[in-house]
Structure 1
Amino acid sequence: MTAAPKARTRISPLGLTFLAVTSIGWGLNFPIMKYILSEWPPLSARGLSGIVGAAALALIALLQRQRLTVPRGMRLRLVLVSLLTISSWVAFMGLALVWLDAREAAVLAISVPVWVALLAWPVLGERLTALRAAALAVALGGIFILIGGNSLDASIGKLPGLLMALVGAVCVGLGTVLTKHFPLQMPPTSLAAWQIGIGCLPVAIAGIAFEQPNPAALSALGWASMAYLTLIQFCLCYVCWFVALERLPAATASIGTLLVPVVGVLSAAAMLHEPFGLREIIALAVALGGVALALRAQ
C-alpha cells in the first residue's frame, strides 16, 4: 500500500528531458521573435504561425488517435481560457517586443507564476500569505532593475512595452487559475491544438486586417524563424510540456520553467548581441528569487 505513492512522486528522467526541451525551446523564442519584428509585424508573425502550429498539432493528435471533439459543456470555458492564456500572451508579448529587448521580455515572463499565486486567492480561495506578497515585491524588484535602464528617458520609452508584457502575464496567470478552477478534460495534444488555434485566430485576423503582412518581406532567415515559431514553439514545445506534466509533479514542472528566462537572456546576448552584464545578472537573480518564493508558498 505504501509503494504506490512513492512511485507517483518519483522524478522521471524522461519527464525532466521533455521539460528541458520545452524550457530551452520557449527561451530561444524571445530573441527569434525579436528578430522577426525586423521583417514582419508582431500580430501577423505570432498569429499566423500559431494557426499553422495548431493545425499541425491537430494532425499529431489524430495520428495519436486522440479525439478532437470538444464536449458541449466545456466549449465556453475552452474559449475563455484560450483567449486569456494564448491570445493575450501572443498579442501583448509580441507588441511588447516592439519597445523591449528580448532579454527584458524574458525577465518579465518570469512574473507569470507570481500572478498565478496572487490570483488564486480570489478565484480559488487560496489565502494570500505574507510570503506570496513578498514574492511579488521581489519579482517586480528584479523587473525594475532591468527595465530601469541607465536613464529616466530610457525607462519612459520602454513603458508601453512594459505595460503590455505585464498585462499579458496577468492574463496568462488568470487563465491558468481558471483552468485549475474549471478543468479542461481533453487529451493533451488535442487540447493544445484547440487552445492555440482559438487563441491565435483573433490575433491573426487583427494582423491581416491592420498590419497587412507581405510574405515577400521575409528573408531566408525570416522564413526559418517563422518555421521555428510554428514547429518548435507551438508544436514541439507544447507536446513536450504536456508529456512532462504527465510524468512530473506540478511543482517540479513549475520550477523547471524557470530555465525559460535564463535561456532567453543568454540567447538574446549571443544571438542579438544584447547587453549582458552585472545589471542583467542581478535583475535575473532577483526576479527568479521572487518566483522561487511564490513556488515555496504553494
Structure 2
Amino acid sequence: MTRGLAHVEEAKLGSLPAPPPAERRPERTIGIACLLATACGWALNWVAMKFLLQVWPPLFSRGLAGVVAAIGLALVAVLMKQSLRVPREAWPRLLGAAFTNVFAWMGFSSLCMKWISVGEGALLVYTMPIWATIFAWPLLGTRPTRRGVAALLLGVAGISVLLGGQSFAAGSGQLPGVSFALAAAVLFALGTVLNGAPLPLAPVASTAWQVGLGCLPMFLLGVAFESPQLGALTPAGLGAMVYMTIFPMGVCYLTWFGALRRLPPSAASTGMLLVPLLGTLTAAALLGEPFGTRQIVSMVLTLSGVTLALRRG
C-alpha cells in the first residue's frame, strides 16, 4: 500500500520514468509522418510561388492565402464541434506563436527575396535547425547529443552543397534581405522550441487562430504597400493560389504542429532541411531546372542527416 501511494506521488511530481519504447512508438511514427507531410507540402510551395509571384507580390499572396486558409480551418473546427473560444490566459502564448510560427516564418522569408536571391535566402532561412538546437539547451534543458550534432552537420552540409553555386556577398544593399532571412530562421526556431507544449485549444482551432493572426497583418501590409493587381491572376497563378491556401497554409500547419507535439524540437527542425532539397527536386522535375552531381551529393548528405536525427535512441 505504501509503495503504491509513493508511486502515485511520484507520478504527480512527474518523476516516473518515461513510458517504454513500445508505448511511445505510435506517437513517434505519427510525428515522423506529420513531419514528412509538412516538408513535402512546403517544398512544393516553392514551385507554386514561382508561378504566383509572376502576377502577385509575396506578402499579399501569402497573406491572402493564409487568411482564407484560417477561415476554412475555423469552419472545419466548428463542424468538428471544437470551440474557437480562446481562454484569456492563453492569448499571450497564442499571439507569440502566431508571430514566430506564421508571420515571421512566412512573411520575413518572403520579404528577404526583395534584396537577395532565392538561393541566398534559402541558405540563411534554413539555418533554422542550428538556432533550434541552441535554444533548446537553455530553454528546455535539452543538451545536444553527439548524434544530434552529427545529424545537424550532415543536413547543413547537404543544404550548403545544394546552394553552393550561389555567389553570396552581403553588400550594404543586401543587408535588409540578410536581416529578414536570419530573423525568419531565428524566430521560427524559437517558436519551434517554445511551442512544443500545445495551447489550451483543440488542434484545428489552434491552427486556425495562429494562421489567421499571423497572416492578417501580411495581407494588410500587402494591400497597403505592394499595390496588387487583382485582374493579373492567370490560370496557373490561380492554381498555385489554391494549392498554397489548402496545403502549405492549411494542412501543413496542422501537420507541423502535430509533429512538434510528438518529436523533439531538434529532430523536427532538422527534418525541415528536407524542404529545400525536395523543392529542388520538384523544380527539376516540373520546371526543368538543373539537377546534377551537386544535387545528388546534397540529397545523400541531407537524407543521411535527417534519417540520423529521426532514428530512435
TM-score range, shorter chain: 0.7 to 0.9
1:176 aligns with 2:230: no
Identify the residue that residue 119 of structure 1 maps to in structure 2. Answer: 135
Offset of 1:130 from its aligned partner? 6.5
Instruction: Number of aligned residue pairs: give it.
Output: 293
Identify the residue that residue 281 of structure 2 maps to in structure 1. Answer: 266
Identify the residue that residue 49 of structure 1 maps to in structure 2. Answer: 65
Question: Does the C-alpha gap of structure 1 residues 169 and 212 become closer, same or farther in structure 2, counting only changes over 3 Å?
Answer: same
Question: Does the C-alpha gap of structure 1 residues 130 and 263 become closer, same or farther in structure 2, counting only changes over 3 Å?
Answer: closer
* Amino acid across the alignment from 1:230: T
User: How many angstroms apart in 2 are the aligned matches of 1:235 and 1:144?
Assistant: 29
1:235 aligns with 2:265: no
1:89 aligns with 2:105: yes
Residues 73-82 or 157-166, more deviating: 157-166
Identify the residue that residue 225 of structure 2 maps to in structure 1. Answer: 210
Question: What's the secondary structure of 2:83's corresponding residue?
Answer: coil
Taking the TM superposition and a 5 Å limit, the aligned residue runs for 1:126-275 are 126-128=142-144, 139-149=155-165, 163-180=179-196, 183-241=198-256, 259-275=274-290
Q: Is the 8 A contact 2:32 2:310 kept in 1?
A: no
User: TM-score by structure 1 length?
Assistant: 0.80
User: How many angstroms apart in 2 are the aligned matches of 1:255 and 1:140?
Assistant: 9
User: How many angstroms apart in 2 are the aligned matches of 1:96 and 1:271?
Assistant: 25
Question: Does the C-alpha gap of structure 1 residues 15 and 118 become closer, same or farther in structure 2, counting only changes over 3 Å?
Answer: closer
Q: Is the 8 A contact 1:49 1:230 kept in 2?
A: yes
Identify the residue that residue 64 of structure 1 maps to in structure 2. Answer: 80
* Amino acid across the alignment from 2:41: G
Question: Does the C-alpha gap of structure 1 residues 255 and 135 become closer, same or farther in structure 2, counting only changes over 3 Å?
Answer: closer
User: How many angstroms apart in 2 are the aligned matches of 1:127 and 1:220?
Assistant: 50
Q: Is the 8 A contact 2:31 2:263 kept in 1?
A: no
Question: What's the secondary structure of 2:195's corresponding residue?
Answer: helix
Offset of 1:141 from its aligned partner? 4.2
Residues 22-31 or 194-203, more deviating: 22-31
Identity of aligned residues (%): 43
CA RMSD of aligned residues (A): 3.7
Q: Is the 8 A contact 2:132 2:269 kept in 1?
A: no
Offset of 1:178 from its aligned partner? 1.9
Q: Is the 8 A contact 2:123 2:159 kept in 1?
A: yes
User: TM-score by structure 2 length?
Assistant: 0.76
Offset of 1:199 from its aligned partner? 0.7
Question: What's the secondary structure of 1:29's corresponding residue?
Answer: helix
User: How many angstroms apart in 2 are the aligned matches of 1:173 and 1:69?
Assistant: 27
1:100 aligns with 2:117: yes
What do residues 270-298 of structure 1 show as CA deviations (whole Å, max 9, x unaligned)?
A: 22332222223334444555566666799
Larger Rg, first or second structure (1 or 2): 2
